[in-house]
Amino acid sequence: MDNIFQDFTAESELFKDKEVLHPTYNSTYLPHRTKQIKILAAALSPALKGEKPSNVFIHGGQGIGKTATVKYVCTELEAMCKKIGRKCTIVYINGEIFDTQYRVFAYLARVFNKRVPMIGWPTDMVYSEFKAAIDTEERCVIVIIDDADKLAHKGDEALYILSRINSELTNAKLSVVCISGDSAFMELQEPEVRSALCEKEILFLPYDTYQLIDILEDRAKKAFNASQLGDAVIPLCAEFAVQEQGDVRYALDLLRVAAEIADRTKSKKLTQEHVRLAKEQIEEHWIAEVVNTLPLQSKILLNAIIILIKATAKRYLFSGEVYATYQKICAELSIEALTQRRVTDLISELDILGLLTAKVINRGRYGRTKEISLIVPVESIQLALTGETTLEPAASIKVESESGIVWG
C-alpha cells in the first residue's frame, strides 16, 4: 500500500519557488510605479529632518500595487532614519481588521507597549493612552491605514481624531497615510478631515496588458523553471487580469493555479489551456468561499433566490417575491424570519460581495422595488449551499410563478 503522502513527495518539475506567486509575497520590484514612489517618498521625507511628513491619501483599484508601494517606501524610510539616527515609527493598520475607532486606538496603543485590552475601556481612555505613549519623546509616527474605506462607515471617528492629533502633541509628530480602493470615500468625509488627510493625493491607475506582462514575467522567472512555460501563457493571464481592472493579484493567482493544475496532471508544459481551467477553478472557489462564510440568514435568502430563478426562469427578480419565498423557507425550517427592512440590507450586502446585482427601480403603479439578478452561475451557488445541512429541508420547496408557493 502506498503511503498517502506518496504523491506529494515528488519534486515539482515546474516550480522553482512557488512563494513568489503568493499574494503575501512582498515584491520590491515595482515597475511602472516609479512616479508614485517618488511622490510618496517626497511627502514622507520630512521625517528625516524631524519634521512632520504630509498626510497622504492614496487611492485606486484593487491589486494595482498601492499597498506594495507604500510598504516599500516605508521600509526604505525606516532604514534611512535608522542610519541617520532619527526616531521614526511606522505602523501598518488594516482597516478591514481594525474596523472600529476603539480597535484602531487599542492596537496603536499596544504597538507602543501600553497594556490596553482589545475591548472594555471607554474609547477616549484608550486614545489618551496612545497619545501619552507616543508623546514621551521626540519622534515621528507614520500611521498607514490600509483599506481605510472599510474603517470609514463604523470607525470614521478615528480618522477625524487622527487628523487633528498633532495639536495635542508636544514632542511627537504623527502623519497618516490612508489607502483606499474606493476613490469616493474621501469625498464623504467632513471637509476639514478631508483637507487634513489629503495634503498629498496619489492616484494609482490600473495596469495595462503590457505592464502586467512585465510584472508577471519577472515573477515567473523566479517562480518557474523557464523551459516549462508555454508561449503566450503570460499574455493570456495579463489579458484576463485586465478584465478584472488590472488586478495583479488575480493575474498571479491565475498563473499559480494554472501551474498547480499542470503540475498535478504531470504536464510537461504550462499552457493556455491550464490558464483557462485555472480561471474557472478560481471563480468556483471564490463563490464557494464567499457563500460558505455567509451568515445563515443570508444563505436562506440566497436559497430563496435560486429557488425562484429555477422555478420561474426569469432573469430578474423583485424584492417582494424574494422576501415572500424567504419567509416560506424560514417557516419550513422553523427559523424566525427577519423583517423586510433587514432583508433589504442583506440583499445589498450580497450585491457588494458581487454575487448579485440589485438595482432600485420604480415600477410606477406597482411601486418601488429592487431588481435582483445573480451574476454568478446558479449551479455554483447551489453547489456551495449543498454543504449546509440546515437548509436541506428547503430543497423540497417548490414555487409556482407569480401566484405563490406550493410544497413539493
Partner DNA sequence: CTTCCACGGGAACACTGGGGTG
Partner DNA sequence: CACCCCAGTGTTCCCGTGGAAG
Q: Which residues bind DNA (CB under 7 A)?
A: 99-103, 117, 119-124, 154-155, 295, 297, 318-320, 323, 336-345, 347-348, 360, 362-370
* Least Å from the CB of residue 155 to DNA: 6
Cα distances (Å, whole numbers) of residue 172 to 52, 121, 132: 9, 24, 10
* Least Å from the CB of residue 310 to DNA: 21
Pairwise CA distance, residues 163 & 199, whole Å: 11
Between residues 117 and 408, which has the closer beta carbon with respect to DNA? 117
Strand partners, 407: 397
Between residues 83 and 365, which has the closer beta carbon with respect to DNA? 365
Greatest pairwise CA separation for the chain in angstroms:
77
* Least Å from the CB of residue 198 to DNA: 24
* Least Å from the CB of residue 297 to DNA: 5
Q: Produce one character per residue of 113-127: b if its CB has 16 or more CB atoms within 10 Å, e if not.
A: ebebeeeebebeebb
* Least Å from the CB of residue 148 to DNA: 15
Residue 381 and residue 307 in contact, taking contact as beta carbons nearer than 8 Å: no
- Those residues whose C-beta lies under 8 Å from the C-beta of residue 216, and which sit 6 or more positions away, are 234, 237, 238, 251, 252, 255
Pairwise CA distance, residues 233 & 86, whole Å: 47
Q: Nearest 10 degrees: CA dihedral of 68, 73, 76, 81?
A: -140
Between residues 120 and 387, which has the closer beta carbon with respect to DNA? 120
Between residues 223 and 338, which has the closer beta carbon with respect to DNA? 338
* Least Å from the CB of residue 141 to DNA: 21
Between residues 59 and 103, which has the closer beta carbon with respect to DNA? 103
* Least Å from the CB of residue 94 to DNA: 14
Between residues 245 and 344, which has the closer beta carbon with respect to DNA? 344
Residue 58 and residue 66 in contact, taking contact as beta carbons nearer than 8 Å: yes
- Those residues whose C-beta lies under 8 Å from the C-beta of residue 63, and which sit 6 or more positions away, are 244, 246, 247, 248, 249, 250
Pairwise CA distance, residues 96 & 153, whole Å: 11
* Least Å from the CB of residue 75 to DNA: 29
Strand partners, 404: 400
In the DSSP assignment, the letter for residue 270 is B
How many CB atoms neighbour CB 327 within 10 A?
A: 17
What element of type H or E holds 202?
A: strand 200-203
Between residues 67 and 325, which has the closer beta carbon with respect to DNA? 325
* Least Å from the CB of residue 55 to DNA: 22
Between residues 16 and 154, which has the closer beta carbon with respect to DNA? 154
Closest C-alpha among 143, 203, 200, 151 to residue 173: 143
Closest C-alpha among 75, 65, 78, 77 to residue 34: 65
Between residues 207 and 318, which has the closer beta carbon with respect to DNA? 318
Closest C-alpha among 181, 127, 126 to residue 150: 181
Between residues 42 and 331, which has the closer beta carbon with respect to DNA? 331
C-alpha cell read off for 225 = 523553471
Between residues 88 and 161, which has the closer beta carbon with respect to DNA? 161
* Least Å from the CB of residue 185 to DNA: 15
Pairwise CA distance, residues 105 & 107, whole Å: 5
C-alpha cell read off for 197 = 488627510
* Least Å from the CB of residue 359 to DNA: 9
